[in-house]
Amino acid sequence: MEPRESWAALAAGGIAGVFVDLILFPLDTVKTRLQSPQGFRKAGGFRGIYAGVPSTAIGSFPNAAAFFITYENVKSVLHHDSTSYLTPVTHMVAASLGEVVACLIRVPSEVVKQRAQVSPSAGTFRILSHTLYHEGIQGLYRGYKSTVLREIPFSLVQFPLWEFLKDLWSWKQGHVVDSWQSAVCGAFAGGFAAAVTTPLDVAKTRIMLAKAGSTTASGNVLAALGGIWRTQGLSGLQARPLAVPCWTRSAPQEGLSMCSSSRSGSVGLFTAKLAFGCYAEDVDPSLQEMLASQDDADPDQRSQHDATHHSNGDDPHGGTVLSTPKRL
């Protein structure tokens, strides 16, 4: 990846992360309180719906930027030596490494944010100070393993599905998908990934909110899942509002790296890419070749083709591919 593209991915990812996290913060608060061990009402209900937002505001940009710069660079490196059949694997590896790096920034921000969300009367700075005083730096990274174990499966489902849907839509309509179409693909992929990984998300929340020294606070994901299953059953493992199938880190936070999750938005990402003049979207290499071949066609053949369609009253482009991916 060229330096200009790297900076574009960095800025686009960061802007997307801030955009989607702040807009959807109230829904994230509701989700956290539903997943908390004390229950939705005791955790604050609908009071203080923006509790913890300073932590998100500070952490969103570097978190999303770290993910996207890692994702784009790894994907760029692996694409050079991969065939179209290995493209989904490339996206999986790139997304997984992106999550591992991003979680180094995300987890401290997430710990402070979630504790503030279930204690709306306490300020963000007070919670940060309390955590550092009683648990040290380790307290800010409590739940790192559970977060990675949640984010990697999320990305393994979300990003290959997102890329596949974009390629399929591009092939069906004969040209590269527009930003809004990519966002729609991302919303579907993120929603599906969120539904699949909700139990891991609940376990992550319980680990981050658990009292220091407790069994759950040790970070054992299987133990946390087992405890939830014994006390609350299946409903406890699916404690997520139906309106919050977020992604992320998208992408998608997810184009916004668009939320339909979390983490991570598609409208924001593509708005940023628009400003930085990046290509609309990456497309499968075989599709890129098909797109480019149209531009290389003999001019006489194309003129004859267009004239034929004009005589029939049809659109001369007739749904065929006419150009390579254009810059936004």
pLDDT digits (tens, 9 = 90+) for 23-59: 889 988 998 998 888 888 899 999 999 999 999 889 8
- Residue 307 lies inside a defined structural domain of this protein: no
Range of the domain at 244: 3-282
- Residue 152 lies inside a defined structural domain of this protein: yes
Burial tier of 301 (Cβ tally within 10 Å: 0-12, 13-18, 19+): exposed
- Residue 92 lies inside a defined structural domain of this protein: yes
pLDDT exceeds cutoff 60 at 252: no
Q: What is the CATH number of the domain that holds 201?
A: 1.50.40.10
pLDDT exceeds cutoff 80 at 263: no
pTM of the model: 0.67
- Residue 26 lies inside a defined structural domain of this protein: yes
Residue 79 vs residue 316, higher pLDDT: 79
Residue 315 vs residue 72, higher pLDDT: 72
Cβ atoms of 177 and 186 within 8 Å: the answer is: no
Residue 163 vs residue 265, higher pLDDT: 163
- Residue 323 lies inside a defined structural domain of this protein: no
- Residue 50 lies inside a defined structural domain of this protein: yes
Average pLDDT over residues 252-261: 40
**Residue-level pLDDT at 2:** 64
**Residue-level pLDDT at 316:** 41
For residue range 148-170, what is the model confidence (pLDDT) as tens digits?
A: 998 888 888 887 888 899 999 99
Question: Which amino acid type is present at position 29?
Answer: T
pLDDT exceeds cutoff 90 at 274: no
- Residue 290 lies inside a defined structural domain of this protein: no
- Residue 301 lies inside a defined structural domain of this protein: no
Query: How sure is the predictor about 280, in pLDDT bands with cuts at 50, 70 and 90?
Result: very low
Query: Which residue in the block uniquely carries the two structure tokens 């938005």?
Result: 265
Tell me, rounded to whole angstroms, the distance of Cα 239 from its chain centroid.
Answer: 20
Q: How many domains does the chain have?
A: 1
**Coarse DSSP helix, strand, coil percentages of the chain, rounded to the nearest 5 percent:** 70, 0, 30
Query: How sure is the predictor about 246, in pLDDT bands with cuts at 50, 70 and 90?
Result: very low
Strand partners, 327: 279
For residue range 176-214, what is the model confidence (pLDDT) as tens digits?
A: 888 888 888 888 888 888 888 888 988 999 999 998 888
Crossing angle of the two packed helices 53-79 and 25-35, in degrees rounded to 10:
100
